[in-house]
Structure 1
Amino acid sequence: MLLAKTLRSSTFRLALIAIAAFGLIVVAIMAYVYFGTIAYVESRVGDAGDHSGFTAMIELAMAAIAVLMLVLAGLAAVLVTRRTVGRIEEINATSRAIMLSGLDRRIPLRGSHDEWDRVAENLNQMLDRIETLMGEVKQVSDNVAHDLRTPLTRMRGRLEKAYHHERNGEADAGLIGDTIADLDAVLGMFASITRISEIETRARRSAFRVLDLAEIAEEVVELYDAAAEQVATRLSLAGDREVAITGDRDLLFDAIANLVDNAIKHGRAGGQVTVTCRSTDSGPVIEIADDGAGIPADQRDHVFKRFYRLEQSRYTPGNGLGLSLVAAVAGLHGAGIALHDNAPGLTVRLSFPATS
């Protein structure tokens, strides 16, 4: 079966064309050598001797060489093409299995570390990435369905209750207000999802310009100062007074605001939240530190996923999209995110590339 596919493959046809072209060149060279040799012998010996034996020997040698080269070239073409077709068939077979059964299959590697192994490794890595993305899509879909169920159920309950009771202006106004609030929460969730997707597709790089990160952080601190006072939290700004950065001002403001808002919500009541901006040799850095309960080390890799919420924060306001937006903004700006123990509390560090 494999031999039949080898003989029908386009690679084999190309090999035959190459062999034919090479053969023509070899024939031309051999003809030149043959006739040149005969002419040289005749010029030296002349007509005095019989050259038929010598000529026959040269002709036989050249014919043998031509047949041998033809056989070797054909054999090499079949072997090389068979190997190529074999690897392609492995990829095709795995592709068919994936289409039939799912993304759990991978292309086998032969350990030769040649170009076919590299192609297989790249395809396997692509399959790993697709499987991860499909898992994330399923998780997001499940979380969206779960988070939408509660507000939609509340809205339906209110409307059904109002439908079965007599009209009451004051009660109806309260019902409408509560329903609008739930609808705003649902619409806000979808707006956040859309914005994160927009950021992840790099659709916002057109707004990049040179900015002062410390100035943006100062505006965020001023905005959340009243919210911090309500829970007796001291919110302060530290570090360098000017930190140059290239980026989107609105997105950076939103990312820092989300981190500060989380630090205030999950920090210790009456505690301290500090926003620090610094210019380092490797680039601008901003840190948001609180003294709350922090995040367990085994969950720090998950908190930036969409809708992911820690167990202790499930009963606080929010939809689990804030840190996902921070991760999207960081990715757009080429920044790294690191979570560190603040003993007690948590420090979130965004490290941006140096401004060129």
Structure 2
Amino acid sequence: MIPALRQLWRSVGFRLAFYYGLLVAITMLASLAIVYMQTVGVLQQRMVRQVAASVQQLGVRHEARGLEGVAGEIGHLLADDRHSDNEVYLLVDREGRKLAGNLDQMPSSAPDAGDGVHRRVLRGGQGAIAYLVMRPLPDGATLVVGHDLRDQESIESLVASASAAAGIVAVLLLIGGTFVFRQELERSVGAVRRTAARIAAGELQERVAPSGEEDEFALLEQDINAMLDRIESLMDGVRHVSNTIAHNLRTPLTRVLVRLRAVELGLPPDDAQRGAVATAIRELEELAVVFEKLLQIAEVEAGARRQQFAPVALHVIADDVAELYEAVAEVQGIVLRRMPCEAATALGDRDLLAGAVANLVDNALKYCGAGAVVCIGTQTVNGRAQLFVQDDGPGIPAAERERIGVRFHRLDRSTPGHGLGLASVRAVIALHGGQLAFEDAAPGLRVRIDLPGGGD
């Protein structure tokens, strides 16, 4: 439950909706609290005014007609049915004898003269809480006037219940609105994320589908598509230039190599020029390899071979490559170990994947050094097919791992190579919608190919 909530809280849409809903809920609850306080305040003020008016009225009657007039007026007030259910009256003489009123007796804790207080009283044998004001009369009698609070408490309870119900509804609306808002935001953002994932997998022609709306997300979609168009145009331009150079120079380069080999054959074995010609031939052959790899990368990035994808057993490729390089590793004093391979199947081009794995093993043998151990194996994790090549050599600094696979990038310029081998591996893995990860093996380096699982 907690991980699920943490996952939800990471969503910007969920947080925005939650904060907005919380603000609305707090505003609603504050409004209800104000309504409740105002309602209770109005009822309280009206009750106080009514009691004060009754005290004044009975005081005037006492001045005019004495205790008999007050007793008669109390009887009249209780008999008029206007507020008799809530009115509280008690008139006692100086000896404490009841002369009039609907209270059974004087409250045990009598209020101070003129002060309005809440006291428990007895009316017809039933207890109740009442608001009371006591007024001593000149002849020693005592007048108590008040208001039964049961109806007011019922109204207050009703308002409180309504406020609580409204608060619960507000919380439910907050929860429901949060999820609805999050889903709506995820729908808009999800389209952008899915398009970005397909582009990252090599489908550079993909664009964000127009939503048909005229909101901020529609403007964002237009800006993203315009940016992608520009990026694709620039990448196509760079790719076209490099591919054109590689393609157009390959034929003249081949002619030069043929002529140099003919010249080399025509020179006497002891001729001083023969060594210079041989060096030129080697350098031109390396240049031809560079052009060949550039064209191969261009072909892979174009995605033309995606049409030939079929289920490929990575564990079989791992066994074949390990067997192929076993003798080479033995000559170099390196142990090439095939780990117990778990069956792992991916959808792809077998030749391209085999070439990529061979490239990784070749690099491991080239840089790990004599006495090292190189392991190759496969596994399936969460439905994805993985192949790894691991060594216990010097490894690669963490700062350099992100640049591995960039064209012409080499960690050590003093070693032979052109910086295109891992670039071609990265292009092959991207063509298959996979990921190429370089991890610290402590010691050494672990290279992991992660591909979507494919059918058998």
Question: Which category of TM-score, normalised to the shorter sequence, fits these structures?
Answer: 0.5 to 0.7
CA-based RMSD of the aligned residues comes to 3.4
| Alignment partner, residue 336 of structure 1 | 435
C-alpha distance in structure 2 between counterparts of 1:198 and 1:281, whole Å: 31
TM-aligned CA deviation for residue 337 of structure 1? 1.2
1:353–1:176 CA distance, 2 compared to 1 (3 A): same
For residue 193 of structure 1, the aligned residue among 286, 294, 298 is: 294
Q: Residue 267 of structure 2 contacts residue 274 of structure 2 at CA under 8 Å; is this kept in 1?
A: no
After TM superposition, the runs of 4+ consecutive aligned structure 1 residues lying more than 6 A away are: 134-141
TM-score normalised to structure 2 length: 0.44
SS, match of residue 352 in structure 1? strand
C-alpha distance in structure 1 between counterparts of 2:310 and 2:414, whole Å: 39
1:6-41 Cα offsets, whole Å, 9 max, x none, are xxxxxxxxxxxxxxxxxxxxxxxxxxxxxxxxxxxx
SS, match of residue 302 in structure 1? coil
For residue 178 of structure 1, the aligned residue among 261, 274, 279 is: 279
SS, match of residue 346 in structure 2? strand
TM-score normalised to structure 1 length: 0.56
| Alignment partner, residue 176 of structure 2 | none
For residue 116 of structure 1, the aligned residue among 191, 204, 219 is: 219
Give the percent of matched residue pairs that are identical in Structure 1 and Structure 2.
35
For residue 318 of structure 1, the aligned residue among 417, 424, 438 is: 417
Q: Residue 391 of structure 2 contacts residue 441 of structure 2 at CA under 8 Å; is this kept in 1?
A: yes
For residue 296 of structure 1, the aligned residue among 393, 397, 416 is: 397
Q: Structure 2 regions of 5+ residues with no counterpart?
A: 1-214
| Alignment partner, residue 324 of structure 2 | 223
Q: Does 1:169 align with 2:269?
A: yes
1:113–1:288 CA distance, 2 compared to 1 (3 A): same
TM-aligned CA deviation for residue 128 of structure 1? 5.6
TM-aligned CA deviation for residue 248 of structure 1? 1.1
Q: What amino acid sits opposite 1:194 in the alignment?
A: L
C-alpha distance in structure 2 between counterparts of 1:338 and 1:122, whole Å: 29
C-alpha distance in structure 2 between counterparts of 1:139 and 1:343, whole Å: 41
| Alignment partner, residue 161 of structure 2 | none
| Alignment partner, residue 173 of structure 2 | none
TM-aligned CA deviation for residue 123 of structure 1? 2.2
C-alpha distance in structure 2 between counterparts of 1:192 and 1:354, whole Å: 28
Q: How many residues align?
A: 228
1:184-236 Cα offsets, whole Å, 9 max, x none, are 21111100000000000101123322222111111111221222123211111
For residue 347 of structure 2, the aligned residue among 246, 259, 266 is: 246
Q: Does 1:202 align with 2:202?
A: no
SS, match of residue 347 in structure 1? strand
Q: Structure 1 regions of 5+ residues with no counterpart?
A: 1-111
C-alpha distance in structure 2 between counterparts of 1:135 and 1:296, whole Å: 33
SS, match of residue 304 in structure 2? coil
Q: Residue 384 of structure 2 contacts residue 451 of structure 2 at CA under 8 Å; is this kept in 1?
A: yes
| Alignment partner, residue 33 of structure 2 | none
Q: What amino acid sits opposite 2:424 in the alignment?
A: L
TM-aligned CA deviation for residue 343 of structure 1? 0.5
For residue 274 of structure 1, the aligned residue among 363, 369, 375 is: 375
TM-aligned CA deviation for residue 323 of structure 1? 0.5
SS, match of residue 355 in structure 1? coil
Q: Residue 233 of structure 1 contacts residue 269 of structure 1 at CA under 8 Å; is this kept in 2?
A: yes
Which runs of structure 2 are paired with 1:77-88 in the superposition (5 Å)? none
1:282-335 Cα offsets, whole Å, 9 max, x none, are 22100111112222222211111111001xx22222110010011111011111
Higher relative contact order (CA 8 A, sep 6+): 1
Instruction: Report the structure, 1 or 2, having the larger helix content.
Output: 1
